[in-house]
């Protein structure tokens, strides 16, 4: 079903406002089934930014902890219910390591600051 923006705004005013304000956007690069491909993408150099849901999930020890993180991010409004459901599905079907290798303490300070004094 297609809507023009005016009709969409009239039918879904709150959703339209959320989408236009872009305050709750959380970028999700992509789901990668191939572990080597996921690791290669995860290791691409980037400038430091606010952590994404994927960054938090890569800190998790196991799938149970990942589900708790997803619940927390959804509860705080940092990810939408649809995004949370997609992340839960990926954890259930492929496991938390499908988001990339576990980020250990010191990952960011080593990567961006050149030292290993901790996170």
pLDDT tens profile 1-53: 788 889 988 988 888 888 888 766 666 655 666 778 777 777 776 666 778 89
Count of Cβ atoms closer than 10 Å to residue 79 Cβ: 23
Within a domain: 37: yes
- Burial class of residue 43 in the structure, from the number of CB atoms within 10 Å of its CB (0-12 exposed, 13-18 middle, 19+ buried): exposed
pLDDT digit string, tens, across residues 57-81: 999 999 999 999 999 999 999 999 9
Within a domain: 8: no
Distance of CA 33 to the CA centre of its chain: 16
Q: Can you say whether the dihedral through the CA atoms of 52, 58, 60, 64 is positive or negative? A: positive
User: Which structural domain range is residue 101 located in?
Assistant: 26-113
Within a domain: 30: yes
Instruction: Give the predicted TM-score (pTM) of the model.
Output: 0.53
Within a domain: 69: yes
Task: Please give the C-alpha separations between residue 108 and each of 1, 12, 46, 50, 111, in angstroms, as whole numbers.
Answer: 44, 40, 11, 12, 5
Contact 80, 23 (CB under 8 A): no
Within a domain: 119: no
Within a domain: 48: yes
Task: Please give the C-alpha separations between residue 72 and each of 61, 69, 79, in angstroms, as whole numbers.
Answer: 16, 5, 9
Within a domain: 21: no
Contact 26, 52 (CB under 8 A): yes
Within a domain: 77: yes
The number of folded domains in the chain is: 1
């Amino acid at each position: 079903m297609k809507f023009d923006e005016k009709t969409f705004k009239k039918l879904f005013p709150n959703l339209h406002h959320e989408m236009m304000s872009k305050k709750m956007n959380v970028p999700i690069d992509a789901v990668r089934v191939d572990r080597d491909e996921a690791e290669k993408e995860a290791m691409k150099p980037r400038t430091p930014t606010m952590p994404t849901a994927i960054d938090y999930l890569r800190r998790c020890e196991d799938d149970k902890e990942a589900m708790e993180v997803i619940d927390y991010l959804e509860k705080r409004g940092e990810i939408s219910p649809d995004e949370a459901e997609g992340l839960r599905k990926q954890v259930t079907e492929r496991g938390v390591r499908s988001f990339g290798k576990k980020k250990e303490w010191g990952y960011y300070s080593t990567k961006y600051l050149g030292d290993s004094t901790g996170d």
